[in-house]
Amino acid sequence: MSNIRNIDRYQRFLITGGAGFIGRKLTLQLAKNLENRIWIIDNLSPQIHGEDIQEPIFPSNITFIRGDVKNQNLVEKIIQDAQPEVIVHMAAETGTGQSMYEITRYCDVNILGTSILLEAINKHGNNLKRFVLPSSRAIYGEGAYREWETRKLIVPPARTNEAMQSGQFIPTSSNGIQLEPIATLEDTPPAPCSIYASTKLMQEYLVTQAAANASWQATILRFQNVYGPGQSLNNPYTGVLSIFSSQILQNKKLNIYEDGNIVRDFIFIDDVARAVELATQARLPHGTTINIGSGEPTTILEVAKTLLNLHEKPENNYQITGDFRTGDIRHAVADISKANELLNWQPQVSLKQGLSALSFWCKKNIV
């Protein structure tokens, strides 16, 4: 039975990272209800927003504060002034590859920033009822597989550089047994393969433990690969679809990593924002964790060819190079049945529709 009937009507929101790709979409969606009051804190990072970014203009029921979630005095003042009933903590560093060499940066923002926010809640968040943490499927590492012969479920260890350098891209068990990838459920044991993934898992632990004896409940949403209009075109560590679109419109040949058969679960921005909004209102037990994705596997080569067609470029304008990234995942697809059950949510935008919207937007915004 769906819990979506057990909903609350909260109207005071704080969105950290609320000027970002997902945060902005969510904020504007919430602002459509003119009775809602929304506060945003966002540092407008140049890596995401560009060097010459001006403060965004929001509707009158949104209060925007340019600042860093690591600024303890500022965060405490915002919590004290806003007295939010719901917090959606989106502020985070998100690049898997970048996290492997900017370790302190990722730990500072994702772990220290979260701890500062939680301490501010302890001091001043008397009205807080719900905390929604957008997390990442990256915490699963390689995710769920099944042994071919025994059909036993297993989470394989992270792929080694040595294996990938030799062209062995498909994960194996610790005993070298061949594995079959399957959709990953929320109870799959965490096995992060990157610094980014480890910081997101630590966020989950911090939030659930901080609220264990509090009057507010935490809901964790583990996102798959979110894409769509509005995604940063300046950030080299942003989603692969916007990177490909930018390269296609610059007439560059696409570099397809590994053997082209990396699998991802692409989910459109509108569907993600809707899932977060539902999570802010659904009455769920503390610590509930929900996958948010399409549930559909798509290879990087398939999506590259689709984008080339949408941009009216030769479909073979790519090269499969065997390049790879340390900490990257081979097969990432979510089981989304829990989202349907608890939030009455399922994706409404197909990959074809979403890619068409993304390509149209990129053509207007890439010069």
Q: Where are the domains of the chain?
A: 12-365
Sign of the CA dihedral running 181, 186, 188, 193:
positive
Residues with Cβ within 8 Å of 33's Cβ and at least 6 positions away in sequence, in order, are 11
pTM value > 0.85: yes
Cβ pair 75, 120 in contact under 8 A: yes
Cβ pair 234, 44 in contact under 8 A: no
Q: What percent of the chain has pLDDT over 90?
A: 83
> 89 is written with which tokens?
């903590």
pLDDT of 3 over the 70 cut: no
**227 is a catalytic site residue:** no
Alpha-carbon gap, residue 39 to 23, rounded angstroms: 11
- Concatenate the DSSP letters of all residues of 301-357 into one string: HHHHHHHHHHTT--TT-EEE-----TT--SB--B--HHHHHHH-----S-HHHHHHH
Q: What is the pLDDT of residues 259-290, one digit of tens each?
A: 999 999 999 999 999 999 999 999 999 999 99
Which strands sit side by side in the sheet containing 288-292, from one edge to the other? Answer: 62-66, 37-42, 12-16, 86-89, 130-136, 217-223, 288-292
Alpha carbon 35 to its chain's center: 28
What pLDDT was estimated at residue 96? 87
Is residue 1 very low, low, confident or very high in pLDDT (cuts 50, 70, 90)? very low
- Residues 106, 140, 145, 196: which is the catalytic one? 196
pLDDT of 337 over the 90 cut: yes
Q: What is the pLDDT of residues 171-184, one digit of tens each?
A: 988 888 879 999 99
CATH architecture of the domain with range 12-365: 3-Layer(aba) Sandwich (3.40)
pLDDT of 323 over the 70 cut: yes
Cβ pair 289, 222 in contact under 8 A: yes
pLDDT of 236 over the 80 cut: no
Mean pLDDT of the region 292-298: 98
How would you classify residue 8: left for phi > 0, otherwise alpha for psi between -120 and 50, otherwise beta? beta
Cβ pair 244, 285 in contact under 8 A: no
Mean pLDDT of the region 345-356: 97
Cβ pair 268, 22 in contact under 8 A: no
pLDDT of 5 over the 90 cut: no
DSSP state of 365: H
> 294 is written with which tokens?
């399409």
Alpha-carbon gap, residue 181 to 23, rounded angstroms: 31
User: Which 3-state string (H, E, C) describes 75-105?
Assistant: HHHHHHHHCCCEEEECCCCCCHHHHCCCHHH
Helices 21-31 and 269-281: angle between axes, nearest 10 degrees: 60
Higher pLDDT residue, 122 or 243?
Answer: 122
Residues 200-228, buried b or exposed e (16+ Cβ, 10 A)? bbbbbebbbebbeeeebbbbbbbbbbbbb
